[in-house]
A = this chain, B = another copy of it.
Amino acid sequence: MSNNETFIVGYGITKFGEQYSTNPSSSASTAITSAIHNAKISKDLIQGLYFGSLLSNTNLQPFVGAEAARECNLNVPISKVDAGNASGAAAFHQAFMAVKSGLLDCIVVLGTEKTSDYVNSSKIEQILGGTIDYLWEFEQGATLTSLYAWMTQAHMNEHNTTLEQLASVPVKNHRNGVNNPIAQYRREISLERFLKAKRISDPIGRFDPATHCDGSAAVIIVSDKFVKQHSEVEQKAKIVGSAQASDKLALHHRTTLSSLMATKVASKNAYSMAKIAPEDISIAEVHDSYPIGEILAIEDLGFFPKGEGGKATIEGKTQINSDISVNTSGGLKARGDPFGATGIAQIIEIVQQINGEADKRQVDDIKFGLAQNVMGTGASSLVNIFSNMEDDK
């Protein structure tokens, strides 16, 4: 027995930001409880919990998902998936396959992070050092920021991408974030301010990187079998494609610095599964932890030709209700980046948009939405594609 179709029936998300006094498992159980409430199902229907959390390994309560499950009184198998800062989407992908396999019919997927425990500590840099090549990059002095600076410079050299084009990514994302109630930063930042900022790792400026924060997000995936047995439960989106691809950990082992091969391969496979082309995507949440991240994404996902991502962005082709609406949530930059929670937050934005629940950031006439979550500098990339339920009704 296996399931051919999978759906999202509920989601829950906390405010993203600095939550010094919130217990990690309380934040996680809040997201789970909200998702169950949003799905309007009994918690007893849930058959499994998948979770991702980058820092939990070091929080020393690595099974924060198990602790949250206990708080929610969920007696289900608990699976932890680790793909560094892409752990949320990676947990989602594994849960998707578990539902597809026919073994589980209703899974809650949790992404959660408490980064503020490590304020004024180098611990987070060190843990992020594990998402790149720890021995041959991090221990030699490279950080995510310095490696992304190389990737940015390579793209500028090869495709004449400008600092203005790069800065237009976070400018747009901060503008979108203003209307996202859970976003960490709900204010605009001007292009001038990005350009005038001190370079922290040239060409990356002080305001360019997304900032890590605290937060939790959860979604509920069900099978077609579940849908048949529980006709009262509303499907909020259909999962039409889900794929992961990996690349070498270290930049020096890769063939290019100006593309994420993992994103190219994962999206190719996800489009193929969904039987669609990049042109069919109306909205995309992509991994803009640095401005170049979004430019690489919109090129490698096939929305724009290689080298034209910067130009497309500065021309407004990725703003809300343009050619393709990218990071309507504010992206990692304005929503904030609670590592493990980010991949699930991206999916929730797509589901909300598909259901017309995105209020002032709502995009019109969405058929397909895509979420892309990246580990490190591209060691793994996860691409999940969703469709609305119109065709099924």
Known contacts A61-B134, A98-B94, A101-B100; A76 and B246 CB within 8 A of each other: yes
Is A135 a contact partner of B77 (Cβ separation < 8 A)? Answer: no
Which residues of B are found within 8 Å of A57, using beta-carbon distances?
A: 57-58, 62, 82, 130
Residue from B69, B101, B379 within 8 A of A246 (CB atoms): B69
Confirm or deny: A83 has a beta carbon within 8 angstroms of a beta carbon on chain B.
yes
CA distance A309 to B134 in the complex (A): 46
Confirm or deny: A244 has a beta carbon within 8 angstroms of a beta carbon on chain B.
yes
Q: 28 A-B residue contacts at CB 8 Å?
A: A2-B2, A2-B3, A2-B4, A57-B57, A57-B58, A57-B62, A57-B130, A60-B130, A62-B82, A62-B134, A63-B130, A66-B379, A69-B246, A70-B248, A75-B246, A77-B246, A77-B380, A79-B81, A79-B90, A79-B94, A80-B83, A81-B94, A94-B94, A94-B97, A96-B101, A97-B97, A97-B98, A101-B101
Among A66, A248, A253, max chain B CB count under 10 A is at A66
Q: Mark A224-244, 1 if CB is under 8 A from B, else 0.
A: 000000000000000000011
Sample of 20 more A-B contacts, CB < 8 Å, known A60-B138, A63-B130: A2-B100, A57-B62, A57-B82, A60-B126, A60-B134, A61-B133, A62-B131, A63-B131, A63-B249, A67-B133, A69-B246, A75-B246, A78-B380, A79-B83, A79-B94, A79-B244, A80-B81, A94-B94, A97-B97, A101-B101
Which residues of B are found within 8 Å of A82, using beta-carbon distances?
A: 57, 62, 80-82
Is B246 a contact partner of A78 (Cβ separation < 8 A)? Answer: yes
Q: How many whole Å from A69's CB to the nearest CB in chain B? A: 7
Which residues of B are found within 8 Å of A102, using beta-carbon distances?
A: 2, 100
Interface residue tally on A, bucketed by range:
35 or more
Among all A-B residue pairs, the 3 with the closest Cβ atoms: A2-B2, A100-B101, A57-B57
Which residues of B are found within 8 Å of A380, using beta-carbon distances?
A: 77-78
CB neighbors of B among A241-294 (8 A) = 243-246, 248-249, 253, 266
Is A101 a contact partner of B2 (Cβ separation < 8 A)? Answer: yes
Residue from B61, B62, B130, B245 within 8 A of A61 (CB atoms): B130
CA distance A379 to B63 in the complex (A): 10
Confirm or deny: A84 has a beta carbon within 8 angstroms of a beta carbon on chain B.
yes
Q: Which residue of B lies closest to A4 (CB)?
A: B2
Confirm or deny: A103 has a beta carbon within 8 angstroms of a beta carbon on chain B.
yes
Which residues of B are found within 8 Å of A84, using beta-carbon distances?
A: 62-63
Q: How many whole Å from A195's CB to the nearest CB in chain B? A: 36
Confirm or deny: A129 has a beta carbon within 8 angstroms of a beta carbon on chain B.
yes
CB neighbors of B among A371-391 (8 A) = 379-380
CA distance A2 to B96 in the complex (A): 13
CB neighbors of B among A170-228 (8 A) = none
